[in-house]
């Protein structure tokens, strides 16, 4: 155990001290910050005003949608079909349809549009609707208590009970008037982002593990080391060490990117009246009724200031589950693939020989990215299910699915299978690695690898 | 007492048997030569001793008990295929490798400083390995092999890549390690160094031990009762005067004398030889031709009969 820590330490320190690590750590956040800031900047400069028609069958949102800087609302009195038919001629950008609820209050709405709907519009509508609903519920609850003046007001309890999540479906109205779902929801962006992140992490740092193994093999130091430690310890030490390097880099990226973005957007808002999206949301919320504005204030006070507003927009996502499973799939997925990369490194003599063995490993990874579009369209279909259960594809696919809501048993099943997959690949990799690192100058075939696996 | 012994060790790979019932005994505080042509199975055996690979069958004993994993802290191994991390500094690397053998950091630094001073390589401490020449790297490798003061040292072709001066330095170091109580297993193709250093040898050919024992005894058995005589007369003069079972193997001459190698029959002594030739020639020198390890190696390996000629 002490030896494996020594190996981890060496793998970690030698990599973190490299110049390329420092360069990547600085360049990464700059690039990422730029990809965040530039669109915001452009959007605030050339944002055109969106016109949204509201068809409210429930009748409780009449005149509740206040115009904001770049969203104008007007109200229709019509039925859905004729509204949709007239939509193209009307010059509106979107049609918000709030159906009449069967019982209770409405909690969902449909946003029709010709092209994809701006996320700003969606989050604004969502905000207004949930504030309105919460306000109504709050009034109803308060009335119950007001009749009995002696009873203490359970404020926390009330606040919790009125909290309302609004579900907004976005549908596209095509040229032919037909509807198809559009996918600009934050869920999708979030899922894709998490999936891509895992994909890149596995590729980037899995390849580093492989290169590290090849380096030890070509420099011929490996035999010296495995006369002191077991090959398995060396392999796991390397995998964990490189993984920690990845985590370090990743954390630095997140912190630095966040820092740069807040800094730059701060300058942008302070400098000249151009408004980036975060301040937009705040202003939009200020335009709401004073009571709800107060409530937002209260809610965000506990959170981290401006972040609270973004969180508000992401209300529908279950964040504890999202973050928890991201960390899990991120780490275990990496461990599973890194073992395979280590096995390849052990089996070959130089990096140019890795091609034939890389193929079967990269296929499931690439496939899960290629399938992402399909999975987003049908996040709970059988294909999505199987892809998110099978260990080699589950880290990426499951992360894409989770923002859309996945039954817990499926997540649990996928996690258990992933752990089994990790144990399986590690066992297999250890066998190949152990024999491979002592073989020089030999072109290895799959048959040969299979023989190695069966050695005692 | 044997510090290490292997009994009937067999290792089967998919296509061939690397070791076939190999048994060796390495006496404590000796230098043991592990010899054999390329591909005979020496490296496999060495890797088994280092527990890098496991044998299929057979028993391994270290200091009178079965070889256990923790014993690697008492074994030092310098493989034939050896190297260092190119991008690491010499000092960091030496400390790391010493720590892997179980030394604490402080102890490793202390001992390394001593050895670096002794080998006069202190100036390399902070340099990266890729800046060193191959010979310099070999020195560092040798140091990290012995830094944890192991009871058993295994050197696989230790002299390859060294110049004659450093070879000598290394030989002296090996001998002084033995003096301090270590046992050394030594695998090489350099037969001269075997004669110089080894107390015992085992010769492996085609996965089997075909010859083992002390160097003295092996040489004794390979003696053929052949003598070289330096004399002064004409060519072809000797054979006629010799008894019929005395055989002249070769004759040669230099500026001063004529030399002949004469194989005597069993039981005959150099006195019998002198007796026969003294009336005819002037004898300047007589010496017994003892086979070199090189001759023995070639003879043992090329003997077609695979019957192991073991003796002890």
Contact at CB, B99 and A6, closer than 8 angstroms: yes
What confidence score (pLDDT) does residue A5 get?
A: 93
Question: At A179, is the pLDDT very low, low, confident or very high (cuts 50, 70, 90)?
Answer: low
**CA of B198 to nearest chain A CA: how many angstroms apart?**
24
HEC-encoded secondary structure of A7-43: HHHHHHHHHHCCHHHHHHHHHHHHHHHHHHHHHHHHH
**CA of A306 to nearest chain B CA: how many angstroms apart?**
46
Question: At B236, is the pLDDT very low, low, confident or very high (cuts 50, 70, 90)?
Answer: low
Chain B residues with CB under 8 Å of A223 CB are 52, 77, 79, 81-82
What is this structure's pTM?
Answer: 0.72
- Residue A296 belongs to some domain of the structure: no
The CA distance from B112 to B91, in Å, is 8
What confidence score (pLDDT) does residue A191 get?
A: 82
Residues in a beta bridge with B10? B57
Statement to judge: residues A235 and A378 lie in one domain: yes
What is each CA distance from A432 to A347, A428, A439, A447, B49, in whole angstroms?
7, 6, 11, 12, 21
What is each CA distance from B89 to A363, B82, B93, in whole angstroms?
39, 17, 6
Chain B residues with CB under 8 Å of A451 CB are 14
Statement to judge: residues A138 and A250 lie in one domain: no
**CA of A220 to nearest chain B CA: how many angstroms apart?**
5
What confidence score (pLDDT) does residue B110 get?
A: 94
pLDDT in tens, B133-144: 888 888 899 999
In chain B, % of residues over pLDDT 70: 96
Question: At A10, is the pLDDT very low, low, confident or very high (cuts 50, 70, 90)?
Answer: very high
Contact at CB, B83 and A219, closer than 8 angstroms: yes
Question: B233 versus A244: which is more confidently predicted?
Answer: A244
Pick from A219, A220, A227: which is nearest to B72 by CB?
Answer: A227
- Average pLDDT of the segment spanning B157-186: 89
pLDDT at A300 over 60: no
What confidence score (pLDDT) does residue B302 get?
A: 86
Number of H helices, E strands in chain B: 10, 14
Contact at CB, B100 and A456, closer than 8 angstroms: no
Statement to judge: residues A167 and A223 lie in one domain: no
pLDDT in tens, B80-131: 888 899 889 999 999 999 999 889 999 999 999 999 998 888 998 999 998 9
| Domain boundary, last residue among A182, A209, A229 | A182
Q: What DSSP state is assigned to residue B183?
A: E
What confidence score (pLDDT) does residue A50 get?
A: 78
Question: A164 versus A8: which is more confidently predicted?
Answer: A8
- Residue A21 belongs to some domain of the structure: no
Chain B residues with CB under 8 Å of A6 CB are 96, 99-100
Contact at CB, A220 and B144, closer than 8 angstroms: no
Alpha helices by DSSP H, A314-371: 319-347, 355-370
Strand, coil or helix: what is A348?
coil
- Residue A334 belongs to some domain of the structure: yes
The answer to whether B81 and A223 are in contact (CB under 8 A) is: yes
A33-47, A57-71, A188-202, A303-317: least confidently modelled range: A303-317
Q: Kind of pairing, strands A71-75 and A50-56? A: parallel
Question: At B145, is the pLDDT very low, low, confident or very high (cuts 50, 70, 90)?
Answer: very high
Instruction: Tell me which residues of chain B, numbers 108 to 147, contact chain A at a CB-CB cutoff of 8 Å.
Output: 141, 144-145
Searching chain A, which residue's CA lies closest to the CA of residue B14?
A451
A80-89, A251-260, A382-391: least confidently modelled range: A80-89
Phi and psi based region of residue A165 (left: phi greater than 0; alpha: psi -120 to 50; beta: remaining): beta
Statement to judge: residues A208 and A126 lie in one domain: no
Name the residue range of residue A139's domain: 50-182
Element (H, E) at B93: helix B90-100
- Average pLDDT of the segment spanning B304-310: 48
- Residue A205 belongs to some domain of the structure: yes
- Residue A8 belongs to some domain of the structure: no
The answer to whether A110 and A169 are in contact (CB under 8 A) is: yes
| Domain boundary, last residue among A182, A217, A244 | A182
The answer to whether B273 and B227 are in contact (CB under 8 A) is: yes
pLDDT in tens, A397-435: 998 888 877 888 899 999 999 999 999 999 999 999 988
- Residue A287 belongs to some domain of the structure: no
Strand, coil or helix: what is B229?
strand
- Average pLDDT of the segment spanning B58-65: 91
**CA of B146 to nearest chain A CA: how many angstroms apart?**
12
> Counting one residue from A and one from B, how many pairs have CB atoms under 8 Å apart?
62
pLDDT at A292 over 50: no
The CA distance from B41 to B37, in Å, is 9
Strand blocks (E) in chain B: 2-12, 17-27, 31-35, 57-62, 65-66, 75-78, 152-156, 183-187, 200-205, 208-214, 226-232, 247-253, 258-263, 282-288
- Average pLDDT of the segment spanning B38-45: 88
Question: At A63, is the pLDDT very low, low, confident or very high (cuts 50, 70, 90)?
Answer: confident
- Average pLDDT of the segment spanning A313-340: 81
What confidence score (pLDDT) does residue B72 get?
A: 86
Enter the tokens of residue A314: 């992401």
Alpha helices by DSSP H, B120-269: 134-146, 164-179, 191-197, 215-222, 238-241
State the best of B9, B94, B100 to mutate against chain A, taking most chain A CBs within 10 Å.
B100
What confidence score (pLDDT) does residue A303 get?
A: 36
Enter the tokens of residue B37: 């042509």
Rounded to the nearest angstrom, the gap between the alpha carbon of residue B184 and the centroid of all alpha carbons in its chain is 10
- Average pLDDT of the segment spanning B156-184: 89
Chain B residues with CB under 8 Å of A225 CB are 97, 100
Could you tell me the CATH number of the domain that includes residue A174? Answer: 3.40.190.10
What confidence score (pLDDT) does residue A298 get?
A: 40
Number of domains, chain A: 2
Enter the tokens of residue B165: 């001066």
Q: What DSSP state is assigned to residue A351?
A: G
The CA distance from A40 to B40, in Å, is 71
Contact at CB, B86 and A456, closer than 8 angstroms: no
What confidence score (pLDDT) does residue B309 get?
A: 46
pLDDT at A284 over 50: no
Chain A residues with CB under 8 Å of B47 CB are 438
Pick from B87, B96, B144: which is nearest to A6 by CB?
Answer: B96
The CA distance from A442 to A440, in Å, is 6
pLDDT at A281 over 50: no
- Average pLDDT of the segment spanning A130-145: 82
Searching chain A, which residue's CA lies closest to the CA of residue B101?
A228
Statement to judge: residues A160 and A255 lie in one domain: no
| Domain boundary, last residue among A147, A182, A217 | A182
pLDDT in tens, A12-35: 999 999 888 999 888 888 888 887
Statement to judge: residues A353 and A410 lie in one domain: yes
Statement to judge: residues A92 and A197 lie in one domain: no
Statement to judge: residues A248 and A329 lie in one domain: yes
Statement to judge: residues A311 and A353 lie in one domain: yes
Element (H, E) at A145: helix A119-146
Question: At A235, is the pLDDT very low, low, confident or very high (cuts 50, 70, 90)?
Answer: very high
pLDDT at B310 over 90: no
Contact at CB, B75 and A227, closer than 8 angstroms: yes
pLDDT at A313 over 60: no
Statement to judge: residues A122 and A264 lie in one domain: no
- Please compute Rg for chain B using Cα positions: 24
Compute the mean pLDDT over every residue in chain A, rounded to the nearest whole number.
79
The answer to whether B185 and B49 are in contact (CB under 8 A) is: yes
Statement to judge: residues A176 and A262 lie in one domain: no
What confidence score (pLDDT) does residue A383 get?
A: 87
- Using an 8 Å CB-CB cutoff, list residues of chain A that contact chain B: 3, 6-7, 10, 14, 215-216, 219-221, 223-231, 438, 440, 451, 455-456
pLDDT in tens, B182-198: 999 999 888 888 888 89
Pick from A220, A227, A456: which is nearest to B50 by CB?
Answer: A227
- Residue A45 belongs to some domain of the structure: no
Question: ipTM score here?
Answer: 0.81
CB contact, 8 Å: B52 with chain A? yes
- Residue A275 belongs to some domain of the structure: no
C-alpha closest to that of A272 among A9, A32, A45: A45
To 5 degrees, how large is the angle CA A120–CA A124–CA A128?
Answer: 175
Q: Kind of pairing, strands B183-187 and B31-35? A: parallel
A6-10, A107-111, A339-343, B228-232: least confidently modelled range: A107-111
Statement to judge: residues A218 and A132 lie in one domain: no
pLDDT at A43 over 80: no
What is each CA distance from B74 to A443, A448, B70, B149, in whole angstroms?
35, 34, 8, 7
- What lies within 8 Å, CB to CB, of A397 at 6+ separation is A195, A368, A371, A372, A375, A384, A387, A388
- Average pLDDT of the segment spanning A218-240: 91
The answer to whether B95 and B144 are in contact (CB under 8 A) is: no
- Average pLDDT of the segment spanning A162-183: 64
Dihedral, CA of residue A155, residue A156, residue A159 and residue A165, to nearest 10: -170
**CA of A236 to nearest chain B CA: how many angstroms apart?**
15
Contact at CB, A456 and B54, closer than 8 angstroms: yes
pLDDT at A131 over 70: yes
Residues in a beta bridge with B156? B187
């Amino acid at each position: 155990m002490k030896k494996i820590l020594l190996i981890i330490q060496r793998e970690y320190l030698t990599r973190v001290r490299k110049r390329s690590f420092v360069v990547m750590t600085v360049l990464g956040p700059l690039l990422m910050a730029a990809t965040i800031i530039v669109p915001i900047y452009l959007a605030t400069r050339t944002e055109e005003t969106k016109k949204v028609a509201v068809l409210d069958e429930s009748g409780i949102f009449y005149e509740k949608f206040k115009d904001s800087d770049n969203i104008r609302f007007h109200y229709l009195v019509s039925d859905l079909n004729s509204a949709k038919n007239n939509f193209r001629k009307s010059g509106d950008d979107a049609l918000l349809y709030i159906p009449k609820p069967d019982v209770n209050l409405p909690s969902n709405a449909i946003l029709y549009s010709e092209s994809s709907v701006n996320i700003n519009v969606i989050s604004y509508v969502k905000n207004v609707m949930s504030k309105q609903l919460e306000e109504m519920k709050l009034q109803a609850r308060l009335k119950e208590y007001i009749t009995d003046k002696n009873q203490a007001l359970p404020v926390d309890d009330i606040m919790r009970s009125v909290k309302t999540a609004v579900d907004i479906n976005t549908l596209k109205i095509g040229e032919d008037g037909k509807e198809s779902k559009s996918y600009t929801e934050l869920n999708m962006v979030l899922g894709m982002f998490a999936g891509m992140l895992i994909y890149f992490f596995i590729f980037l740092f899995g390849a580093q593990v492989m290169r590290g193994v090849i380096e030890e093999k070509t420099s011929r130091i490996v035999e010296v080391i495995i006369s002191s430690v077991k090959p398995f310890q060396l392999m796991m030490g390397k995998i964990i060490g490189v993984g920690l390097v990845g985590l370090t880099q990743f954390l630095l990226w997140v912190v630095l990117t966040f820092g740069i973005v807040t800094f730059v957007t701060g300058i942008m808002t302070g400098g000249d009246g151009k408004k980036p999206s975060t301040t937009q949301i705040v202003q939009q919320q200020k335009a709401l009724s004073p009571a709800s504005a107060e409530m937002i204030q209260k809610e965000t006070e506990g959170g981290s200031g401006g972040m609270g507003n973004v969180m508000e927009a992401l209300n529908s996502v279950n964040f504890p589950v999202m973050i928890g499973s991201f960390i899990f799939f991120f780490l275990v997925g990496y461990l599973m693939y890194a073992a395979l990369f280590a096995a390849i490194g052990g089996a070959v003599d130089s990096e140019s020989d890795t091609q034939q063995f890389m193929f079967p490993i990269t296929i499931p990874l690439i496939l899960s990215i290629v399938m992402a579009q399909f999975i987003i369209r049908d996040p709970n279909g059988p294909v999505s299910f199987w892809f998110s259960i099978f260990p080699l594809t589950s880290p990426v696919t499951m992360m894409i699915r989770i923002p859309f809501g996945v039954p817990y048993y499926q997540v649990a099943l996928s996690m258990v299978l992933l752990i089994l997959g990790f144990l399986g690949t590690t066992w297999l990799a250890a066998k190949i690695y152990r024999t491979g690192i002592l073989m020089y100058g030999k072109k290895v075939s799959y048959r040969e690898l299979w023989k190695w696996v069966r050695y005692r | 007492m044997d510090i290490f012994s292997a009994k009937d060790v067999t290792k089967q790979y998919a296509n061939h048997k690397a070791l076939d019932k190999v048994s060796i005994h390495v006496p404590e505080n000796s230098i043991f030569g592990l010899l054999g042509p390329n591909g005979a199975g020496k490296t496999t055996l060495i890797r088994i001793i280092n527990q890098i690979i496991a044998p299929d069958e057979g028993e391994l004993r270290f200091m009178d008990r079965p070889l256990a994993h923790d014993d690697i802290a008492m074994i030092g191994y310098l493989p034939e295929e050896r190297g260092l991390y190119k991008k690491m500094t010499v000092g960091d690397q030496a400390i790391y490798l010493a720590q892997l053998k179980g030394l604490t950091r402080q102890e490793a630094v202390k001992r390394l400083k001593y050895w670096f001073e002794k080998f006069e390589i202190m100036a390399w401490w902070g340099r990266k390995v890729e800046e060193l020449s191959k010979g310099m790297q070999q020195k560092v490798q040798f140091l990290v092999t012995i830094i944890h003061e192991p009871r058993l040292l295994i050197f696989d072709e230790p002299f390859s890549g060294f110049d004659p001066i450093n070879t000598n330095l290394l030989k002296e170091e090996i001998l002084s390690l033995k003096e301090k109580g270590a046992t050394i297993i030594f695998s090489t193709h350099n037969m001269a160094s075997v004669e110089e250093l080894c107390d015992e040898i085992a010769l492996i050919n085609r996965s089997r031990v075909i010859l083992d024992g002390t160097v003295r005894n092996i040489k004794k058995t390979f003696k053929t009762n052949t003598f070289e005589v330096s004399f002064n007369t004409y060519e072809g003069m000797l054979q006629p005067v010799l008894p019929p079972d005395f055989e002249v193997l070769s004759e040669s001459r230099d500026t001063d004398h004529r030399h002949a190698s004469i194989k005597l029959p069993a039981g005959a002594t150099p006195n019998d030889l002198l007796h026969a030739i003294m009336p005819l020639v002037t004898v300047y020198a007589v010496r017994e031709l003892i086979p070199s390890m090189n001759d023995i190696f070639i003879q043992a390996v090329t003997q077609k009969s695979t019957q192991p000629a073991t003796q002890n």
